[in-house]
Homo-oligomer: A and B are copies of this chain.
Protein backbone atom coordinates (compact mmCIF):
# COMPACT_ATOMS: atom_id res chain seq x y z
CA UNK A 1 0.00 0.00 0.00
CA UNK A 2 1.55 3.27 -1.08
CA UNK A 3 -0.09 5.80 1.22
CA UNK A 4 2.77 8.20 1.08
CA UNK A 5 3.77 7.93 4.70
CA UNK A 6 7.53 7.70 5.10
CA UNK A 7 9.86 8.30 8.01
CA UNK A 8 13.59 8.20 8.27
CA UNK A 9 13.74 7.31 11.94
CA UNK A 10 10.76 6.30 14.06
CA UNK A 11 11.00 6.27 17.85
CA UNK A 12 8.37 4.39 19.84
CA UNK A 13 8.32 5.30 23.53
CA UNK A 14 6.75 2.44 25.48
CA UNK A 15 7.01 -1.09 24.07
CA UNK A 16 3.69 -2.60 25.03
CA UNK A 17 0.98 -4.16 22.87
CA UNK A 18 0.08 -0.80 21.30
CA UNK A 19 3.58 0.50 20.70
CA UNK A 20 4.86 -2.84 19.46
CA UNK A 21 1.95 -3.16 17.05
CA UNK A 22 2.55 0.31 15.62
CA UNK A 23 6.21 -0.54 15.08
CA UNK A 24 5.26 -3.75 13.25
CA UNK A 25 2.65 -1.99 11.11
CA UNK A 26 5.04 0.82 10.09
CA UNK A 27 8.06 -1.47 9.57
CA UNK A 28 8.07 -1.20 5.77
CA UNK A 29 7.60 2.57 5.71
CA UNK A 30 10.49 3.72 7.88
CA UNK A 31 14.24 3.30 7.57
CA UNK A 32 14.91 2.66 11.23
CA UNK A 33 12.90 2.05 14.41
CA UNK A 34 14.15 2.72 17.92
CA UNK A 35 12.17 1.43 20.89
CA UNK A 36 12.40 3.14 24.28
CA UNK A 37 11.36 1.15 27.34
CA UNK A 38 12.55 0.90 30.94
CA UNK A 39 12.21 -2.90 30.99
CA UNK A 40 15.22 -4.80 29.69
CA UNK A 41 13.34 -8.04 29.02
CA UNK A 42 10.85 -6.08 26.91
CA UNK A 43 13.62 -4.33 25.00
CA UNK A 44 15.42 -7.60 24.32
CA UNK A 45 12.21 -9.22 23.13
CA UNK A 46 11.44 -6.32 20.76
CA UNK A 47 14.91 -6.41 19.19
CA UNK A 48 15.11 -10.21 18.98
CA UNK A 49 11.74 -10.42 17.26
CA UNK A 50 12.55 -7.65 14.81
CA UNK A 51 9.80 -5.38 16.15
CA UNK A 52 12.38 -2.58 16.48
CA UNK A 53 15.90 -2.22 15.15
CA UNK A 54 17.37 -1.08 18.42
CA UNK A 55 16.15 -0.39 21.93
CA UNK A 56 17.26 1.76 24.83
CA UNK A 57 16.05 2.88 28.25
CA UNK A 58 17.44 6.37 27.62
CA UNK A 59 14.67 8.68 26.44
CA UNK A 60 17.06 11.35 25.15
CA UNK A 61 19.18 8.91 23.20
CA UNK A 62 16.11 7.16 21.84
CA UNK A 63 14.22 10.17 20.48
CA UNK A 64 17.02 12.61 19.74
CA UNK A 65 17.57 11.59 16.11
CA UNK A 66 14.00 10.61 15.24
CA UNK A 67 11.79 12.48 12.79
CA UNK A 68 8.64 10.71 14.04
CA UNK A 69 8.09 9.97 17.74
CA UNK A 70 5.16 7.98 19.11
CA UNK A 71 4.40 8.14 22.82
CA UNK A 72 2.75 4.82 23.71
CA UNK A 73 2.71 5.03 27.50
CA UNK A 74 -0.04 5.47 30.13
CA UNK A 75 -1.68 8.91 30.02
CA UNK A 76 -0.03 10.41 33.07
CA UNK A 77 3.41 9.25 31.94
CA UNK A 78 2.81 10.93 28.59
CA UNK A 79 1.72 14.16 30.28
CA UNK A 80 4.78 14.01 32.50
CA UNK A 81 7.11 13.51 29.51
CA UNK A 82 5.51 16.42 27.65
CA UNK A 83 5.76 18.74 30.66
CA UNK A 84 9.27 17.83 31.67
CA UNK A 85 11.92 17.30 29.10
CA UNK A 86 10.94 15.66 25.85
CA UNK A 87 10.38 18.90 23.95
CA UNK A 88 13.99 19.87 24.40
CA UNK A 89 15.18 16.41 23.28
CA UNK A 90 13.53 16.57 19.87
CA UNK A 91 14.86 17.95 16.60
CA UNK A 92 12.96 20.77 14.98
CA UNK A 93 10.18 19.63 12.65
CA UNK A 94 9.78 16.25 14.38
CA UNK A 95 6.24 14.80 14.30
CA UNK A 96 5.18 13.82 17.82
CA UNK A 97 2.07 11.67 18.29
CA UNK A 98 0.81 10.09 21.48
CA UNK A 99 -1.76 7.31 21.80
CA UNK A 100 -3.00 7.97 25.33
CA UNK A 101 -6.62 7.10 26.18
CA UNK A 102 -7.66 10.61 27.26
CA UNK A 103 -6.71 13.65 25.26
CA UNK A 104 -7.44 16.98 26.99
CA UNK A 105 -4.54 16.92 29.46
CA UNK A 106 -2.16 15.70 26.77
CA UNK A 107 -3.18 18.22 24.12
CA UNK A 108 -2.94 20.98 26.77
CA UNK A 109 0.59 19.85 27.61
CA UNK A 110 1.49 19.73 23.91
CA UNK A 111 0.58 23.40 23.62
CA UNK A 112 3.64 24.29 25.70
CA UNK A 113 6.15 22.33 23.63
CA UNK A 114 8.84 24.40 21.91
CA UNK A 115 7.75 25.92 18.62
CA UNK A 116 9.03 23.70 15.82
CA UNK A 117 7.85 20.48 17.44
CA UNK A 118 4.76 19.31 15.56
CA UNK A 119 2.58 17.51 18.06
CA UNK A 120 -0.86 15.92 17.67
CA UNK A 121 -2.90 13.76 20.04
CA UNK A 122 -4.04 10.30 18.98
CA UNK A 123 -6.29 7.59 20.36
CA UNK A 124 -6.65 4.30 18.52
CA UNK A 125 -9.87 2.52 19.57
CA UNK A 126 -8.49 -0.97 19.65
CA UNK A 127 -6.85 -3.41 22.00
CA UNK A 128 -6.62 -7.02 23.05
CA UNK A 129 -7.56 -9.08 26.06
CA UNK A 130 -3.85 -9.47 26.91
CA UNK A 131 -1.21 -6.77 26.82
CA UNK A 132 2.57 -6.79 26.46
CA UNK A 133 5.07 -6.63 23.62
CA UNK A 134 4.67 -10.35 22.87
CA UNK A 135 1.05 -9.68 21.85
CA UNK A 136 2.15 -7.19 19.14
CA UNK A 137 0.14 -7.51 15.95
CA UNK A 138 0.70 -5.53 12.74
CA UNK A 139 -3.06 -5.71 12.05
CA UNK A 140 -4.19 -4.48 15.48
CA UNK A 141 -5.25 -1.11 14.05
CA UNK A 142 -6.86 -2.30 10.85
CA UNK A 143 -10.40 -0.98 10.30
CA UNK A 144 -10.50 0.48 13.82
CA UNK A 145 -11.22 4.15 14.54
CA UNK A 146 -8.08 6.22 15.28
CA UNK A 147 -9.00 9.58 16.77
CA UNK A 148 -6.72 12.55 16.08
CA UNK A 149 -6.95 15.66 18.28
CA UNK A 150 -5.08 18.74 17.13
CA UNK A 151 -3.05 20.76 19.62
CA UNK A 152 -1.65 24.28 19.47
CA UNK A 153 1.46 22.60 18.02
CA UNK A 154 -0.33 20.88 15.13
CA UNK A 155 0.74 22.48 11.88
CA UNK A 156 -1.30 21.75 8.72
CA UNK A 157 1.61 19.67 7.39
CA UNK A 158 1.86 17.73 10.66
CA UNK A 159 -1.85 16.99 10.57
CA UNK A 160 -1.56 15.58 7.03
CA UNK A 161 1.45 13.50 7.94
CA UNK A 162 -0.42 12.11 10.98
CA UNK A 163 -3.39 11.25 8.75
CA UNK A 164 -1.05 9.37 6.41
CA UNK A 165 0.47 7.53 9.36
CA UNK A 166 -3.00 6.47 10.55
CA UNK A 167 -3.92 5.28 7.07
CA UNK A 168 -0.70 3.30 6.88
CA UNK A 169 -1.84 1.50 10.04
CA UNK A 170 -5.00 0.73 7.99
CA UNK A 171 -7.00 2.47 10.72
CA UNK A 172 -9.90 4.88 10.16
CA UNK A 173 -8.87 8.43 11.10
CA UNK A 174 -11.47 10.52 12.94
CA UNK A 175 -10.60 14.10 13.80
CA UNK A 176 -12.22 15.88 16.74
CA UNK A 177 -11.24 18.21 19.53
CA UNK A 178 -9.88 16.77 22.74
CA UNK A 179 -12.76 17.80 25.02
CA UNK A 180 -15.33 16.16 22.79
CA UNK A 181 -13.18 13.04 22.55
CA UNK A 182 -12.94 12.81 26.32
CA UNK A 183 -16.70 13.16 26.75
CA UNK A 184 -17.32 10.38 24.26
CA UNK A 185 -14.83 7.93 25.74
CA UNK A 186 -16.21 8.71 29.21
CA UNK A 187 -19.48 7.23 27.92
CA UNK A 188 -18.32 4.34 25.78
CA UNK A 189 -15.32 3.23 27.78
CA UNK A 190 -14.81 4.76 31.25
CA UNK A 191 -18.42 4.51 32.43
CA UNK A 192 -18.60 0.86 31.24
CA UNK A 193 -15.40 0.14 33.18
CA UNK A 194 -16.80 1.66 36.38
CA UNK A 195 -20.08 -0.26 36.00
CA UNK A 196 -18.18 -3.45 35.37
CA UNK A 197 -15.95 -2.95 38.42
CA UNK A 198 -18.90 -1.99 40.61
CA UNK A 199 -20.83 -5.07 39.49
CA UNK A 200 -17.92 -7.30 40.49
CA UNK A 201 -17.60 -5.48 43.83
CA UNK A 202 -21.33 -6.02 44.46
CA UNK A 203 -21.17 -9.73 43.66
CA UNK A 204 -17.97 -10.19 45.63
CA UNK A 205 -19.71 -8.68 48.62
CA UNK A 206 -22.61 -11.13 48.26
CA UNK A 207 -20.30 -14.05 47.60
CA UNK A 208 -18.66 -13.61 50.98
CA UNK A 209 -21.64 -15.41 52.49
CA UNK A 210 -22.64 -17.56 49.49
CA UNK A 211 -20.05 -18.94 47.09
CA UNK A 212 -22.76 -20.05 44.66
CA UNK A 213 -22.76 -16.53 43.19
CA UNK A 214 -19.41 -17.28 41.56
CA UNK A 215 -20.38 -20.83 40.74
CA UNK A 216 -23.55 -19.91 38.85
CA UNK A 217 -22.26 -16.79 37.12
CA UNK A 218 -22.39 -17.41 33.38
CA UNK A 219 -22.14 -15.61 30.03
CA UNK A 220 -24.10 -12.50 30.98
CA UNK A 221 -21.91 -11.87 33.99
CA UNK A 222 -18.78 -12.73 32.02
CA UNK A 223 -19.40 -10.05 29.39
CA UNK A 224 -20.70 -7.35 31.72
CA UNK A 225 -17.81 -7.83 34.14
CA UNK A 226 -14.97 -8.30 31.66
CA UNK A 227 -13.69 -4.71 31.85
CA UNK A 228 -13.27 -5.06 35.63
CA UNK A 229 -10.17 -7.14 34.85
CA UNK A 230 -8.52 -4.18 33.07
CA UNK A 231 -5.15 -2.96 34.25
CA UNK A 232 -5.75 -0.84 37.35
CA UNK A 233 -2.83 1.55 36.77
CA UNK A 234 -3.98 2.27 33.25
CA UNK A 235 -7.61 2.76 34.30
CA UNK A 236 -6.63 4.89 37.28
CA UNK A 237 -4.66 7.13 34.90
CA UNK A 238 -7.58 7.35 32.53
CA UNK A 239 -10.18 8.11 35.19
CA UNK A 240 -8.05 10.68 36.97
CA UNK A 241 -7.46 12.58 33.72
CA UNK A 242 -11.14 12.55 32.79
CA UNK A 243 -12.93 13.08 36.08
CA UNK A 244 -15.37 15.75 35.02
CA UNK A 245 -16.67 13.95 31.94
CA UNK A 246 -16.94 10.64 33.83
CA UNK A 247 -18.78 12.23 36.75
CA UNK A 248 -21.21 13.90 34.34
CA UNK A 249 -21.96 10.60 32.61
CA UNK A 250 -22.35 8.84 35.97
CA UNK A 251 -24.99 11.38 36.97
CA UNK A 252 -26.89 10.70 33.76
CA UNK A 253 -26.52 6.95 34.22
CA UNK A 254 -27.99 7.18 37.72
CA UNK A 255 -30.97 9.12 36.37
CA UNK A 256 -31.68 6.49 33.72
CA UNK A 257 -31.26 3.67 36.22
CA UNK A 258 -33.61 5.33 38.70
CA UNK A 259 -36.26 5.56 35.96
CA UNK A 260 -36.08 1.83 35.23
CA UNK A 261 -35.99 1.00 38.92
CA UNK A 262 -39.08 3.08 39.61
CA UNK A 263 -41.07 1.15 37.00
CA UNK A 264 -39.72 -2.14 38.30
CA UNK A 265 -40.62 -1.50 41.93
CA UNK A 266 -44.01 -0.02 41.02
CA UNK A 267 -44.77 -3.17 39.02
CA UNK A 268 -45.36 -1.03 35.94
CA UNK A 269 -44.52 -3.88 33.54
CA UNK A 270 -46.07 -2.20 30.53
CA UNK A 271 -44.01 0.95 30.86
CA UNK A 272 -40.85 -0.99 31.71
CA UNK A 273 -41.24 -3.07 28.60
CA UNK A 274 -41.96 0.01 26.45
CA UNK A 275 -38.78 1.62 27.79
CA UNK A 276 -36.59 -1.45 27.29
CA UNK A 277 -37.69 -2.05 23.69
CA UNK A 278 -36.04 1.01 22.06
CA UNK A 279 -32.93 0.34 24.17
CA UNK A 280 -32.75 -3.16 22.70
CA UNK A 281 -33.26 -1.72 19.22
CA UNK A 282 -30.50 0.86 19.76
CA UNK A 283 -28.04 -1.86 20.81
CA UNK A 284 -28.94 -4.07 17.87
CA UNK A 285 -28.69 -1.15 15.44
CA UNK A 286 -25.25 -0.30 16.79
CA UNK A 287 -24.08 -3.87 16.29
CA UNK A 288 -25.47 -3.91 12.77
CA UNK A 289 -24.12 -0.52 11.72
CA UNK A 290 -20.73 -0.54 13.42
CA UNK A 291 -19.55 -3.56 15.33
CA UNK A 292 -20.40 -6.22 12.78
CA UNK A 293 -18.69 -4.26 10.02
CA UNK A 294 -15.28 -4.32 11.63
Contacts and interface: CB of A to CB of B under 8 A. Distances in A.
Contact of A145 (B203, B210, B216): B216
Number of copies: 2
Contact of A229 (B127, B222, B278, B284): B284
Interface in A83-127: 125-127
B216 A174 contact: yes
B232 A273 contact: yes
The residue among A180, A194, A286 with the most chain B CB atoms within 10 A of its own CB is: A286
Interface stretch (A24-32, A35-43, A253-261): A253-261
A225 to B, nearest CB: 6
Interface in A164-205: 174, 176, 180, 183-185, 187-189, 191-205
B187 A202 contact: yes
Contact of A192 (B220, B229, B282): B220
B253 A144 contact: no
A205 to B, nearest CB: 7
Which bucket holds chain A's interface residue count?
A: 35 or more
Contacts of A253: 198-199, 202
A283 B225 contact: yes
Nearest to A189: B220
Interface in A222-278: 222-233, 235-236, 239-240, 243, 246-247, 249-250, 252-254, 256-257, 260-261, 264-265, 267, 269, 272-273, 275-278
A214 interface: yes
Chain A contact residues: over half helix, strand or loop, or mixed? helix
Contact of A187 (B195, B213, B239): B213
Given A210-B180, A224-B224, A229-B280, A243 B267 contact: yes
Contacts of A184: 206, 210, 212-213, 216
A170 to B, nearest CB: 16
Interface of A: 125-127, 144-145, 147, 174, 176, 180, 183-185, 187-189, 191-206, 210, 212-233, 235-236, 239-240, 243, 246-247, 249-250, 252-254, 256-257, 260-261, 264-265, 267, 269, 272-273, 275-280, 282-284, 286-287, 289-291
Given A232-B273, A267-B240, A279 B201 contact: yes
A283 B200 contact: yes
Contacts of A222: 287, 291
A141 to B, nearest CB: 12
A254 to B, nearest CB: 8
Contacts of A219: 126-127
